[in-house]
Amino acid sequence: MLPPSVLLAVLLGGALHAAWNVGVRAARDRRQETALVVAGAAVLSAAMLPFLPLPQAGAWPFLAVSAVLNVGYFALVAAAYDRASVTLAYPLMRGAAPALTALAAWLLLGEALPPLGWIGVLAVSAGVLLMARGAAAVTEHAAVRLALANAAIIAAYTLADGMGVRRSGHALAYTLWLFLLAAGPSLVMLLGPVGLLRWRPSPRAMLRALGGGGCTIGSYGLALWAMTRAPMAPVAALRETAMLFGLVLARLVLGERPGRRRWLAAGTIAAGAALLRLA
């Protein structure tokens, strides 16, 4: 059973994660907006790291792997939102990952969930599959493929970071180094070498960068802290309740109207999260 402090931290992190994803989708140029999030996270990380200890030596190989995976993650986020709404792409990216993470944690780390926990993971995953069935246009089918590919990346870096943060000695320092290491390659991937050299964000864009960067740091920092206090699989699965926040924010901010199928899928995901809380 997850401690209340872990539960609250993961839920807050989910809300922050949904907020910056909605911000990316709201922009006209999603690659540039994603680059702003990456840049903002890097600036904030560089400002805070001098006041924190270095992660311990055993964490650095995991940091390197996760940084590479995060480059692909940010590129796929921008590509998916170019092709589909938040109510389709976001649940797929976030929700297919927990079952993959749980399976990997079981096979590689021996973190076996009790039966009720596995039912919760399956319920979350079933809700995501129900979301995917609503895809219709060609661009939406492409978005489904991109989102599911990103789910695999999310599962991989969740596993790497779950192991790395436990060896780091300091969850926040690990998180900040991760965003700093991933920033340069991610910006090149999103903007291209020439585009990056010519990139001159406006002061208003830089404020959005700091806001989005703060959301992504806060979101993932809370998740990694939770993984130092509880088993990896239920934390990763409960984090997918970010999809519920995403649906609400997409409706309020973007005017997206998820149909009954997607609300039913969201309810299935919420039920799965509740089962994980009780497991």
pLDDT digits (tens, 9 = 90+) for 32-57: 999 999 999 999 999 999 999 999 99
**Residues 152-193: tens digit of each pLDDT:** 898 889 889 988 998 999 989 999 999 999 999 999 999 999
CB 25 within 8 A of CB 81: yes
CA pseudo-torsion sign 271, 266, 223, 153: positive
- Structural element, H or E, at residue 186: helix 171-191
Chain segment 54-87, per-residue pLDDT in tens? 999 999 999 999 999 999 999 999 999 998 888 8
Q: Is the pLDDT of residue 242 over 70?
A: yes
| CA pair distance 244, 249, nearest whole angstrom | 9
Q: Is the pLDDT of residue 146 over 70?
A: yes
How far apart (Å, rounded) are the C-alpha atoms in residues 76 and 117?
Answer: 29
**Other Cβ atoms closer than 10 A to 197:** 8
Phi then psi dihedrals of residue 137, to 5 deg? -70, 160
Question: Closest Cα to residue 77, out of 161, 154, 192, 156?
Answer: 154
The predicted model scores a pTM of 0.86
Integer Cα distance of 18 and 143 in angstroms: 18
Cα-based angle 11, 14, 16 (whole degrees, multiple of 5): 115
pLDDT score recorded for residue 124? 78
- Are 147 and 33 in contact by the 8 Å Cβ rule? The answer is no
Give the pLDDT of residue 140: 79
204 burial via Cβ count (<10 Å: 0-12, 13-18, 19+): exposed
Give phi and psi for 259, each to the nearest 5.
-75, -175
Phi–psi pair at 54, nearest 5 degrees: -70, 145
Distance CA 162, CA 226 (A): 9
Tokens at residue 197, please? 């050299």
pLDDT value at position 270? Answer: 72
- Cα 175 to Cα 67, 105, 158, 165, 217: the distances in Å are 10, 20, 12, 8, 7
Q: Which residue has the higher pLDDT, 247 or 20?
A: 20
Stretch 209-229: mean pLDDT: 90
Give the residue-averaged pLDDT of 225-246.
79
The answer, yes or no, to whether residue 138 has pLDDT greater than 80, is no
DSSP letter assigned to residue 253: I
Tell me what percent of the chain is helix, strand and coil, each rounded to the nearest 5: 85, 0, 15
Residue 106's pLDDT band, with cuts at 50, 70 and 90, is confident
Question: What is the structure's pLDDT at 78?
Answer: 95
With cut-offs at 50, 70 and 90, classify the pLDDT of residue 247.
Answer: confident
User: Which percentage of the chain shows pLDDT scores above 90?
Assistant: 48
pLDDT at 173: 94
8 A C-beta contact, residue 224 and residue 66:
no
Can you tell me the distance from the alpha carbon of 192 to that of 265, in angstroms, rounded to the nearest whole number?
37
Residue listed under structure tokens 């970010």? 242
pLDDT tier, 112 (very low <50, low <70, confident <90, very high otherwise)? confident
* pLDDT tens figures, 96-105: 777 777 777 7
Question: Nearest-CA neighbor of 85 among 33, 26, 19?
Answer: 26
pLDDT for 230: 84
